[in-house]
Structure 1
């Protein structure tokens, strides 16, 4: 359940622009009136309540069906901000590329694979069209490192990279690894070829808990954890949803993965503070909105997540008791290049 809080009080934690996008121009004046001073601070419980109301309004405006779990980190553990159908089995689509990568990196941690080992890329394995870069290459056969495949999998959400991961971690093995790590309902869907699979299903609870366990360092070695989270926080990771209305520095605080297919529009991730500590975990699974043929930033569910992301970050910026020490999940500063 979300923490009870009046809409007027919740609006005080967000910007007028975010409130206008969620509630409409008629309430922007009320938002401005309710907004506290810049120095105003909030407890995690108050932040969770405000985040819950922002989610409720944005999801309602987008329409369709939402399954979602969002929590804010508190002193004694996560505080629920959103809980909507959290134990329903949902189609994950490309959000399940995170657990696929976890299974592959688990084998790296056990010495069964290495990031610098090469994988053959044949014309037969390349998925034409869709998302990613391998279908754009046009020069096969070739080879890439396992690290290259994982980077393509989690940043540009490459479809062929799923098949490349399947060459080193078959579907049944991926599922066994995930069950052993405590996620029996986060599973890929095997097909006749043991090295190929559909991306399968999860629940909002399991995806939320998987992300929290990942950044705590409970699922992988410190090196593999930092590697995976670094990919999800990179500047080329998904920017149409939660991260859209943010500066480059703000985007770098978000580790996120989106997934889309048919009428489904999903996104899951973690928001960090400026010291590298996790503040908020989200898992959104939306379907049934208008314009299912639109896979861009103008889709209603994607627009809703952009509103949520901006408002969430504003609300989290008011939290009291900011952390001082960074976790094992650090970030390489973003340095654009002009070639040369």
Structure 2
């Protein structure tokens, strides 16, 4: 069985949990072993970290095939992870010529969520205006909550949901309210969020320009660093496109790990509830600590996979004013 086993079969067994007993490394082909080792390391790390943190978990993690599928079809509260889906819907309208990134949006005091995440509550000078591109950048990096309302001005809730359904994500939906331009961020499943990100990274979800825009924001140094990207250098962080979401006792994160040459390598969607103090939204929360440990495993376990290193054209360079 070992010599004839191909890489797809190995990863398929890994996804079912049978791989450890079914395919001894000593009898696997080199290609099968290359796939088997990272799959096992990631799977074991996921089990170890989630057991340590406790609570409930739902996740989908894949390389070329699923590695972890833990309650992957459960419908869960997405929280700010669904801001990626919101951005996809807005950028779909950009691709169709219905919205422009340089289109200006009026920011009035009644739009600003004073207790939410982001920078708009810190401004203190309204009315003002920003572009659609600015709103999306803040939505995807510092997870600005007011930016959700700004996106709703150009992509109302019902239209947003229709776009996501048309793209194949019927369970990833926002929740409309009386005002058609406002909504709660709604629900998803780990599998749908995983598949949305996988399609995005593959370039099949949006135009090349919108794909590059969205992934650049999620891979930027301004994007979330408390979770999967915590134990990484700035160069390593630039290889990970990620979006986190939190509310009440929920702690979620989803994204894509790219190889050193810039090709998508690993996709993850991890949702968690009930791990600890619901008032702790920082890096000390048990679920966030678990994701930080997993992020290091994602990189280390797959270090030998993918293409050769290539310096990114927009590699991070700090500035010093001037």
**TM-score normalized by the length of structure 2:** 0.90
Gap change, CA 1:301 and 1:216, over 3 Å in 2? same
Does structure 1 retain, via aligned residues, the 8 Å contact 2:53–2:290? yes
Unmatched segments (≥5 aa) in structure 2: 1-14, 22-31
Deviations 1:97-152 (A, max 9, x none): 00100000000000000000100000000000220000000000000000000000
Pairing 1:22-101 to 2, within 5 Å after superposition = 43-73=34-64, 79-101=65-87
Deviations 1:180-237 (A, max 9, x none): 0010110000011100000000001100000010011111100000000000000010
Secondary structure at 2:69's aligned position in 1?
strand
Secondary structure at 1:136's aligned position in 2?
helix
1:106 aligned to 2:92?
Answer: yes
Deviations 1:272-296 (A, max 9, x none): 0010011100000000111111000
- What's 1:137 paired with? 123
Cα-Cα RMSD: 2.0
How many pairs align? Answer: 300
- What's 1:280 paired with? 266
- Structure-2 separation of matches of 1:257 and 1:93: 10
- What's 2:307 paired with? 323
Does structure 2 retain, via aligned residues, the 8 Å contact 1:3–1:80? no
TM-superposed CA distance for 1:6, in Å, is: 5.4
Gap change, CA 1:134 and 1:331, over 3 Å in 2? farther
| Match of residue 154, structure 2, among 148, 156, 168 | 168
Pairing 1:234-249 to 2, within 5 Å after superposition = 234-249=220-235
- What's 1:182 paired with? 168
Does structure 1 retain, via aligned residues, the 8 Å contact 2:41–2:297? no
- What's 2:257 paired with? 271
Does structure 2 retain, via aligned residues, the 8 Å contact 1:58–1:307? yes
Does structure 1 retain, via aligned residues, the 8 Å contact 2:250–2:272? yes
Gap change, CA 1:177 and 1:80, over 3 Å in 2? same
- Structure-1 separation of matches of 2:224 and 2:18: 32
Secondary structure at 2:87's aligned position in 1?
helix
TM-superposed CA distance for 1:46, in Å, is: 2.4
Does structure 2 retain, via aligned residues, the 8 Å contact 1:71–1:282? yes
| Match of residue 295, structure 1, among 275, 281, 286 | 281
TM-superposed CA distance for 1:307, in Å, is: 0.5
- What's 1:206 paired with? 192
Does structure 1 retain, via aligned residues, the 8 Å contact 2:176–2:184? yes
Pairing 1:115-126 to 2, within 5 Å after superposition = 115-126=101-112
Gap change, CA 1:243 and 1:255, over 3 Å in 2? same
TM-superposed CA distance for 1:331, in Å, is: 5.8
- Structure-2 separation of matches of 1:316 and 1:67: 22
Structure 1 residue ranges, 4+ long, deviating more than 3 angstroms after superposition: 1-7
Does structure 2 retain, via aligned residues, the 8 Å contact 1:87–1:203? yes
1:157 aligned to 2:139?
Answer: no
Does structure 1 retain, via aligned residues, the 8 Å contact 2:116–2:146? no
- What's 1:334 paired with? 316
**TM-score normalized by the length of structure 1:** 0.85
Does structure 2 retain, via aligned residues, the 8 Å contact 1:5–1:50? no
